[in-house]
Structure 1
Amino acid sequence: MASRPIVPQQARGDAGVGGAGVAVHKQTKKNAAPGDGRSRRALGDIGNVVNVRGVVVDGKPQQQIRRPLTRSFCAQLLANAQAVAAAEKNKKNVCVNVEKAPVLDGVPKRGAAAAPKAIQKKPAAKPLPATAKVIEISPDVEEEVEVKEEKVKEEKKKDEVEVKNNKKVTEGARSSKKKQHTFSSALTARSKAAHGIANKPKEQIVLDIDEADANNHLAGVEYVEDIYKFYKSVENESRPNDYMHLQTDINEKMRAILIDWLIDVHQKFELSPEALYLTVNLIDRFLSVKVVPGRELQLLGMSAMLIATKYEEIWPPEVNDLVCIADRTYTREQILLMEKTILGRMKWTLTVPTHYVFLARFIKASIPDLKMENMVYFLAELGIMHYETIRFCPSMVAASAVYAARCTLNKTPTWTDTLKFHTGYSEPQLVDCAKLLAYFHSKASESRLQVVYKKYSSSLRAGVALFPPSKYLLCAESRLQVA
């Protein structure tokens, strides 16, 4: 970079340009202690030989030389400052305009262009062109830069704190929005609190309901799950079809009278429940494939019971006993002939899943007491006595009897996850059949067929027939009939 001719320095105390005295800048001590950041030279060499005031060479004090600041050098400084500002894109630029003229060795230079001080943070030294000269900033200027850097840092910290506070406010607003309760949720919470189910823990599913029978070899605990899976898969194969429209001499009321009488006979002979449900299954299956005259309907029932007791009982009743109990309406030969006809039509298929096998399993899953168990059997026998339940499969009738019994006895919850797991039915699937059973319960005391009602009104069976039917199921049934 070209420089102007060196102006001879005036003697100390002479008047400078414009009559102003020349201020002499003090030089920083060269022999300062190491590590002192403020020990610097005031100015370095800018192209001329500079003798700093106060330096002694060969025992002779040297005079201070005053150097001019050229316009081209000032322009180079401005260009460097602009380049540094462009490199710091993500930082805050602090620009300070110099109000006074540039100072060289403490003496203001007249006519020199004012250069701005654009210093935010001390940047790394940028390589300058070969013609450029390097200057060092005096200690007082360095102090000013450090103060400005501290201010910039404080401003950044304040901005960061404000941003964090804003985030917290927005997050708090979001969480408050999430926690807002609607009117419907408030009503739901109140109803749960009223029923005492607000803070109940989640129900645990009881998978092993056969734990109590682990030492009972007759229970077949090792195979019981597979057995019931098989029953569920084949129950529709042995399920009777809707046959009443095929029968010309039999109606639903006649069938109900027959089942009611057979339940009475079953009770007098003290037979097992398995025999009763198999008897009803054989009757319905036979009526599904053969038209029977009305006068032979009771004969069909007696022969079906004889087959079922031979299959299920150790000591089945004799044929003569059945003849006597029917008041000798039919002969021994007629009963044996009908027995042979039934077995031929059924192809000797007697091992079928009846309502009872599912009732025994589902009652066990409900963890019942005496009232609960008898209520289930009461509703189930009402169900098999009426022809309307024939459209439901045996497992659904059994599960619906358990559900209706729990509703009648006000068990909470009415349907558990354990029952859902072991029955394979959800609560909505059972509502229709359960409504029908509750309706039969409500009409049992007024019906002419009183055998089932009297049987379960006894104290030996906890008098469950005397309990009022489920209001919830009856209301649903009445709404269904009105619709």
Structure 2
Amino acid sequence: MASRVVLPQNVEGNNNGGIKQKNAAEGQGRNRKALNDIGNLVTIRDVEGKLQRPITRSFGAKLLANAQAGGDNKIKKAAPGVAGKAVVVPVVPKPPTKRAVPTTKPKSVEVIEISPDTEDKKQEKPEKLVTQNERSVGYKKKKKVPSMTALLTARSKAACGLTNKPKEQVVDIDASDVDNELAVVEYVEDIYTFYKIAENESRPCDYMNSQPEINEKMRAILVDWLIEVHNRFELMPETLYLTINLVDRFLSSKSVPRRELQLLGIGAMLIACKYEEIWAPEVNDFVSISERAYSNEQILKMEKAILGQLEWYITVPTPYVFLSRYIKASIPDGEMENLVYFLSELALMHYGSISFCPSMVAASAVYVARLTLFKAPGWTETLRTHTGFSESQLMDCAKMLANLHSVAPGHKLQTVYKKYSKPEKCAVAMCSPPMSLLVLSSS
């Protein structure tokens, strides 16, 4: 902006010249009126009426600051200009003021949630700010004090032995067989779930009262002889358990004369060998081992009668299929594995074992074997998970197996005891049975 020229008021000259100059000054004043309207310059006059230095905004602020600092309420006069000459004062432009832009708040839009499955996240509460004074005195968060009821409840549980103990982890017994295709790790749980359902469909019933010529002692003699034949032929363990299952199921549905009881055992073992073995013994081999008590035709006729009576239902879960799984869940060594098989074969000879399902017999054999070999704990969470039985559910069957073990050395039928007294079987038959089960069984 151009500077304003201030003309002196007392101008000497003639009247005409004065009028012309006066008119020129008036015209110039009219032309410069727009500059006065801006407000950048404030023209003041002293007491004599003479023009002084225009007070700009910055100059006025400086005068006000000097008055406040010195306590002087009088404003210092500006230095007059040179007489007869105009004083040119620079005009300081006013800094542009920023206009406040009106802010309009956006209207709140209502959001409609389409999926009801989403859950709102809980707003986290901000943590309490710790002041400097609290830090200096050692600020600590206030601990939650338990109530008297909680203390009394905890003490009562501790007195009764109900304190919360860390839960025992279940061991993944199939982790080592992931790459073994024969172990069928993907289906093994489903297979044993089916076995647990199907075992009750193939269980023999209590048939001794319906057999006029057979008793429990005769059955024990037959089973003892079949175990000896099984050892001589060096057959698979599955063959022995399937043979005893076929014998019991046939006796549960049909009466057998005393003279044909051994023939029934031979026919059942012949079927089991054909089902389980790769190289099954021939009919002539059974004729020879029975000292020709029966002919080939009699053995084949008995085989046909068994299959017809059982409707060719041979694929059944025997105690052995559960033993192989439960022994694996127990993470055994060679001694324990042989002891489990020893107890389960004692159960095969005992007629009272048919009152228990095959899976319970297998689980009880593992439980008694662990107690016999002082394995702690006697029943683990892994065994409970894979067998489906608790320790209390196995007590009745476990007591029976412990008693059979205790009387095995003096029993007349010694096939099973001698078999597991050999060094290759770790001589597990000579181990002492757990006294805790024997004491409980006698009381």
Normalised by the size of structure 1, how large is the TM-score? 0.59
Q: Secondary structure at the match of 1:245?
A: helix
Residue in 1 that maps onto 2:384:
420
- For 1:68-93, what per-residue CA distance to the aligned partner results, in whole angstroms no more than 9, with x for missing partners? xxxxxxxxxxxxxxxxxxxxxxxxxx
Tell whether 2:374 aligns with 1:410: yes
Offset at residue 173 of structure 1 (A): 9.1
CA distance in structure 1 between the partners assigned to 2:271 and 2:154 by the alignment: 68
Query: What aligned pairs does 1:378-417 form with structure 2 within 5 A after superposition?
Result: 378-417=342-381
> Are 1:306 and 2:270 matched, yes or no?
yes
**Unaligned segments of structure 2, at least 5 residues:** 1-141
Where do residues 223-234 of structure 1 align in structure 2 (5 Å cutoff)? 223-234=187-198
User: 1:381 aligns to what SS in structure 2?
Assistant: helix
In the alignment, the residues of structure 1 paired with residue 320 and residue 147 of structure 2 have an alpha-carbon distance, to the nearest angstrom, of: 60
Q: Could you tell me which of 240, 258, 269 is aligned with 1:276?
A: 240
Q: 1:178: how far off?
A: 4.0
If the length of structure 2 is used for normalisation, what is the TM-score?
Answer: 0.65
1:338 is aligned to 302
Identity %: 63
Q: Does 1:471 align with 2:435?
A: yes
Of 204, 210, 213, the match for 2:169:
204
Please give the alpha-carbon distance, in whole angstroms, between the structure 2 residues aligned to 1:203 and 1:173: 30
Work out the CA distance in 2 between the residues paired with 1:233 and 1:180.
Answer: 42
- Going from structure 1 to structure 2, the CA distance change for 1:446 and 1:216 (only over 3 Å counts) comes to same
Secondary structure of the 2:439 match is helix
Q: Note the C-alpha offset of 1:187.
A: 9.7
Matched residues, number: 302
1:325 aligned partner, one-letter code: I
Which shifted more, 404-413 or 297-306? 404-413
Aligned match for 2:313, one of 349, 355, 360: 349
CA deviation map 1:17-47 (0-9, x unaligned): xxxxxxxxxxxxxxxxxxxxxxxxxxxxxxx
Aligned 1:227-266 pairs, distance under 5 A = 227-266=191-230
Supply the AA of the counterpart residue of 1:313: E
CA distance in 1, matches of 2:216, 2:264: 15
Distance 1:185 1:237 in 2: 46
Instruction: Give the distance between the partners of 2:382 and 2:154, measured in 1 at CA.
Output: 35
Deviations 1:128-168 (A, max 9, x none): xxxxxxxxxxxxxxxxxxxxxxxxxxxxxxxxxxxxxxx99
Q: One-letter code of the match for 1:238?
A: S
- Alignment-derived partner of residue 284 in structure 2: 320
1:149-160 alignment runs, 5 A limit:
none
Cα distance, 1:174 vs structure 2? 3.7
Amino acid across the alignment from 2:287: V
Q: C-alpha distance in 1, partners of 2:151/2:307?
A: 72
In structure 2, what is the Cα distance between the partners aligned to 1:285 and 1:244? 12
Looking at structure 1, the residues matched to 387 and 268 of structure 2 have their Cα atoms a distance apart, in angstroms, of 29
1:221 & 1:187 partners in 2: Cα distance? 42
Q: Kindly indicate whether residue 388 of structure 2 is the aligned counterpart of residue 459 of structure 1.
A: no
SS, match of residue 237 in structure 1: coil
Report what 2:400 is aligned to: 436
Partners of 1:408 and 1:283 lie apart in 2 by: 31
Q: CA offsets, 1:51-73, max 9 Å, x none? A: xxxxxxxxxxxxxxxxxxxxxxx
**CA RMSD, 1 decimal:** 2.4
1:280 maps to a residue whose letter is: I
Three-state SS of the structure 2 residue aligned to 1:330 is: coil
User: Which residue of the partner structure matches residue 217 of structure 1?
Assistant: 181
1:265-286 Cα shifts (integer Å, max 9, x gaps): 1011110000000000000000
What is the distance in 1 between the residues matched to 2:279 and 2:364? Answer: 33
What secondary structure, in the 3-state scheme, does the structure 2 residue paired with 1:222 have? coil
Amino acid at match of 1:204: Q
Hey, what's the Cα distance between the residues in 2 that align with 1:472 and 1:199?
27
